[in-house]
Amino acid sequence: MVSGGKFLQAVHFKGVIMTFFFQSLLSGLLTGGVYALAGIGMSVVFGVMNISNFAHGDLMMLGMYMAYFAFTLLHIDPYLSLLLIIPTAFLFGFLIEKVFIHRIIHHPHQNQILLTIGLGLIMSNTALLAFTSDPKILTTSYSSSAVTIFGGISLSVPLLLSFVITCLITGILFLFLSKTTTGLALWATSQNREAAQLMGINVSKMSAIAFGLGTALAATAGALIAPTYYIHPMAGHTFLLKAFTICVLGGLGSVVGAGVGGVIIGVVESMSSTYLSSDWKDVVVFIIFLGVLLFRPQGLFGKKGEQ
C-alpha cells in the first residue's frame, strides 16, 4: 500500500521525468533545425561537386557577422536580414568557386580538401584581423525569451522562429531542385557529371551555382543561430564536423536527408546530455556517424549503390 504522500511524490516524480524528456526532445529538435540547414548546404556542394568543403563552418561564421552588422549598423532584424544575406552569400560562394575551386575540380580529393582548409583559414583569420577576437553578442528584444507549453516545457522564441524559417527554406530549395530547369540540371549533375555534360548541361556553371547555394545556406544557418549564439571568428569550427555528420547521415547530396539528419543529430545530442552526460554527447554523435558509414554508407535517405 502506497501512502498518499508517497503516491503524490511518485506522480510528481513521473511528471518531472516526462517534462525532462520532452524538454530535452524539443530543445534538441529546435537546435537540430539550425544544424540541418548547415548540413543541407554541405550536402548540395557534396552532391554536385563531389567535394568535402572544410570551409563550410567559416562560411557560416561569415553569415553570423553579416547578421550582426545588419543588426547593429543597419538596424535590420536578423531574420529579416536573410533577404540581404542570402543573395550576398550566394554571390560570394559563386565567386569563390570561379576563382579557386573551379581550378582543382579534377584534382585528387585530398587537394580539394586542403584548398578548402586553406580558404577557411584565410576567412577566419581575416575576420580575426578585421573584427578582433572579442565575441560579438547579438541581443534582440527576444534573445532570451521563451514560451512555456504543457506547463513546464520552455521553448526558446528565437529558436522556434529559426526552425520555422529552416523548414520554409528547405521546402523552397526542394521545389527549386525538383521543378526548375536549373534545379533539375543541378540534380542531373549530382547524379552523373559526365552524362550531364553530354546532355549539354554546363556543369562548370552548375558547380559555381552549387557552391553559391551551399554558401548561402551556410550563411543562413549562421544568421539564424546568431541571436541565440555568439559571433566569433572561429565560431564556425563547432559546426563543421556536425555538418559533415549530418550530410553523411542523410545521404550525400540528399536535401531532405540532410534536413532529417540535422534534426536527428540535434535530438541525439540533447538526449545524450540529459541521460548520459554532456561531455560525452559528441562521442555518441561520432559513434552514430561511424555506424552509419559502416552499415548504411548510402545514408538514411540515399539509395543503395549511390555511394
Partner 1 sequence: MKQIAIIAVIAGIAAVLPLVIGESPYFTGVLISVLMMAALASAWNILGGYAGQYSFGHAAYFGAGAYTTMILISKFNLNPILSMVAGIVVACIIALVTGSIVFRLRGHYFGLASIAVAEIVRLSALNFDFTGGAQGILLTDVSLWGVDLNSKTPFYYGMLLVLVVTLGIALSLRTSKTGYYLQAIREDQDAAASLGINLAFYKNKALLISAALTSVLGSLYAVYIRFIDTSAVLDLRLSIEIILTAIIGGVGTVWGPVLGAVLLVPLAEMLRSNVIGDALVKQGMVSETSGLGVFLKENLAHAHVLVYGIITVLCILYLPKGILGLLGRKK
Partner 2 sequence: MKKMLVSIATAALIALPLLTNAAPVKIGFINSITGKEAQIGENLTNGAAMAVEDLKAKGIQVDLIKEDDGGDPKNALAAYEKLVTRDAVIGVVGPYTSGSANVVASRADQYQVPLLVPAAAKEDITMKGYKNVFRLNAPANIYSSVLMKAVAAYKPKTIAYVYAATDFGVSTVKTAQENALKMGLKEVANEKYQQGQPDYRPSLSKVKAANPDLVFLVSYDADAILLMRQAKEIGLTPKAFLGAGAGYTTAQFAQQTEISNLVVSATQWTDDVNWSGAADFARRYKLKYSKEPSYHAACSYEAVRIMVETASKNNTSAKLRAGLKAGSWNGILGPVKFADYDGFTNQNNHPMLVQQIISGKYETVFPAQFSKKKLVYPFTR
Query: Which positions lie near partner 2, rule CB under 8 A?
Result: 16, 20, 23-24, 27-28, 31, 34, 125, 128, 132-135, 137, 139, 143-146, 154, 156, 225, 228-230, 232, 234-235, 237-238, 266, 269-271, 273-274, 277-279, 281-282
Three-state DSSP at 254 gives coil
Cβ contacts of 20 within 8 Å, gap of 6 or more: 274
CB of 245 to partner 2, least distance (A): 14
CB of 204 to partner 2, least distance (A): 36
Per-residue interface string for the shown chain with partner 1, residues 227-256, x marking contact by CB under 8 A: --------------x--xx--x---x----
- Decide whether 77 or 306 has the Cβ nearer to partner 2: 77
Question: What are 259's three cell numbers?
Answer: 534536413
- For residue 166, the partner it binds in partner 1, partner 2, none, with Cβ less than 5 to 8 A by kind, is none
Q: Which of residues 285-304 bind partner 1 (CB under 8 A)?
A: 286-287, 289-290, 293-294, 297
Query: Does residue 194 touch partner 1 according to CB under 8 A?
Result: no
Three-state DSSP at 212 gives helix
Rounded CA-CA distance 307/253 in Å is: 10
- Decide whether 76 or 104 has the Cβ nearer to partner 1: 104
- For residue 9, the partner it binds in partner 1, partner 2, none, with Cβ less than 5 to 8 A by kind, is none
- Decide whether 143 or 204 has the Cβ nearer to partner 2: 143
Q: Residue 154 forms beta bridges with which residues?
A: 148
- For residue 221, the partner it binds in partner 2, partner 1, none, with Cβ less than 5 to 8 A by kind, is none
Count of residues near partner 1 by CB under 8 A: 40
One-letter amino acid at 295 equals F
Query: Does residue 283 touch partner 1 according to CB under 8 A?
Result: yes
- Decide whether 218 or 225 has the Cβ nearer to partner 2: 225
Residue with cell 536578423: 78
Residues 152-172 as b or e (16 or more Cβ within 10 Å = b) = ebebbbbbbbbbebbeebbee
**Helical segments of 100-156, H only:** 109-131
**C-alpha torsion 69→70→72→78, nearest 10:** -110
Three-state DSSP at 147 gives strand
Rounded CA-CA distance 87/220 in Å is: 10
Q: Which of residues 90-119 bind partner 1 (CB under 8 A)?
A: 100, 103-104, 107, 109-111, 113-115, 117-119
